[in-house]
Structure 1
Amino acid sequence: MRNLVKKIFVAVFAVSTLASVNSFADDINLWKKSTLNQILQRGELQVCMEPGYMPFEMKDKKGRIIGYDVDMAKRMAKEMGVKLKLLPTSWDGIIAALVTNKCDIIMSGMTITQQRNLKINFANPYVVVGQTILMKKDLDSKIKTAKDLDKPEFTVVTKLGVTGEVATRKFFTKAKIITFETEADAAAEVLNGRADAFVYDQPYNILFMSDKGKGKLIHLDAPLTYEPLGWAIRKGDPDFLNWLNNFLRQVKEDKVVDFHEKLNKKWLRDTSWLKRVQ
């Protein structure tokens, strides 16, 4: 009887040990495939972004990419102990670039949506924005809310392929809608009197009103939508996702270094950087 019990114990122990070894091997394989491990092995963090979305990423007068996301990416690379490589990427191909391993992460003011989440994963939101409206000044006495603009005689513009377009088509079913390749071109249509209103992200519109739109346009600043911005990575990578969320938590909560607050002040509240891009 003792021998039988001993044999059973040995067999169970062997199976348990084998399962533990296999599980450990699986963990090792997952780590090897992790984007985070590849970044560390390469010694370089490769970031896809479209440098045309103020104040998150844009080019200065010397052609250098600057902005909120750029400073955050620099901090991220520093914490990893690696170099940073910014990869300017057109918006309509930026998700494909990530999925096909052209970069490690998208840091480009991307709104977290359910549709995008089907293709890619997002870290926790780092900024929350919403769509607001810039409109012609001479409409101030006629238009008080977004609903007042939804008439056939009005033309509403926005950027093609972004959440601003989704919001525009959702809220304006009667007005004429025109989309543009860049937000700057769309806003210029209203500034030059060729359109009545422009729908886009609140931070961009606030900055536009502090500069080119000052005294010329009206800002309907009540957000039409709730839009959290997040960093995008490929699916099936829990190690990288875990690191990103912990990194974000640290930069937000560390009141000694106060990096997050300084970043918000530098890019989202202060507009002195505008003279670097004009």
Structure 2
Amino acid sequence: MTSVAKIFTGLCLLVASLFTLQAQADTLDKVLDKETLRVGVALFTPWTIKNEKGELSGFDADIARKLAADMGVKPEIKVYEWDDIMPALNKGEIDVIAAGLAVTPKRALRLEFSQPYSESGVGLATHTDKTKHIRSLTELNHKDITIAVVNDSIGASLAPSVFTQANIQTFDTADKAEKAILEGKAHGYVASQAVVRFFAMDNSDTIDVPLPEPLLSYKVSFGVRKGDQALLNFLNAWVMARTADRWLPATQDYWFDSLEWREAQ
């Protein structure tokens, strides 16, 4: 390669890197310029809950508001069906996902993960009457058993590998999956451990959580678009700071380990 070609190539790489850095800063700059942080959430108790007035509460709703406050901007919390939330991020409809998003290699191909801000697990809820004769997890792995999951969720990823012989029925919302098992159309429901726990608590005459431990533990992180490094840097710093000052652990304890919030709904 001639010296002129080398100089030209070097200039091209420099320009490309400058454009990349600009692109990485764009989302964070836009958030600060517009003074609004658009946060995508999904309705899973107690991650995000909507009451009869349409008001949002929950662990991730609290996180969205605290995150925006620490940035000095207003939060705009947008609710999505679970299988729409990652496409919404990539379309630019939201700036960040805060929705109990489990870190998986497959998802890492579609978005950037922040440092984990929480830890959860995949649990199993069962229809008490339909499974009263079942004594082990192995007995649920049968062709006559139907397991409900929410599309593109961590439960949907795990269930086929645990219940290889069962009929895995996929729903686009948690409400539809829960309705199916309540109506006896499914024997079990695989979802976040917190989701199945509170689902069983609200329907104790019909639903049980038979396993003392989760089927799988996982880390929960924010999700941002590929290349949004400046925003990702801020989120990582935020997680570190709010873990150190105990705001994150205290907020998680409130929503996942106490029942105080239920009295306030």
Name the TM-score, length of structure 2 as normaliser. Answer: 0.85
Q: Which residue of 1 aligns with 2:256?
A: 268
Q: Which residue of 2 aligns with 1:66?
A: 57
Alignment partners' CA distance in 1, 2:201 and 2:208: 11
Q: Is the 8 A contact 2:122 2:214 kept in 1?
A: yes
Equivalent positions of 1:230-269 (< 5 A) are: 230-254=221-245, 258-269=246-257
- Tell me by how many angstroms 1:170 deviates: 1.5
Q: Which residue of 1 aligns with 2:28?
A: 36
2:150 to 150, 159, 162: 159
> Secondary structure, in 3 states, of the residue corresponding to 1:130?
strand
Q: Is the 8 A contact 1:154 1:196 kept in 2?
A: yes
Alignment partners' CA distance in 2, 1:165 and 1:28: 35
**Structure 1: stretches of 5+ with no match in the other structure:** 1-18
Matched, 1:132 2:123: yes
Identity rate of aligned residues, in percent? 26
Equivalent positions of 1:20-35 (< 5 A) are: 26=18, 30=22, 33-35=25-27
1:80 to 71, 74, 92: 71
Deviation per CA, 1:127-158: give whole Å up to 9, x if none.
1222111113243553232x221012222112
Counterpart AA for 2:257: R
Counterpart AA for 2:136: K
Matched, 1:190 2:178: no
Q: Which residue of 2 aligns with 1:216?
A: 206
| Greater Rg by CA | 1
Counterpart AA for 2:256: L
Alignment partners' CA distance in 2, 1:30 and 1:149: 52
Q: Which residue of 1 aligns with 2:5?
A: none
Counterpart AA for 1:127: S
Stretches of 4+ aligned residues off by more than 4 angstroms: none
Counterpart AA for 1:115: K
Q: CA RMSD in A?
A: 2.5
Alignment partners' CA distance in 2, 1:185 and 1:273: 24
- Pick which of 120-129 and 186-195 moved more: 186-195
Deviation per CA, 1:84-108: give whole Å up to 9, x if none.
1112223222222212221111111
Q: Is the 8 A contact 2:23 2:227 kept in 1?
A: no
Deviation per CA, 1:235-268: give whole Å up to 9, x if none.
11222111111111111111xxx32233123211
Alignment partners' CA distance in 2, 1:28 and 1:54: 38
> Secondary structure, in 3 states, of the residue corresponding to 1:34?
helix
> Secondary structure, in 3 states, of the residue corresponding to 2:198?
helix
Q: Rate the CA distance shift 1:29–1:228 in 2: closer, same or farther, 3 A.
A: closer
- Tell me by how many angstroms 1:75 deviates: 0.8
- Number of paired residues? 251
Alignment partners' CA distance in 1, 2:154 and 2:198: 19
**Structure 2: stretches of 5+ with no match in the other structure:** 1-10
Q: Rate the CA distance shift 1:32–1:234 in 2: closer, same or farther, 3 A.
A: closer
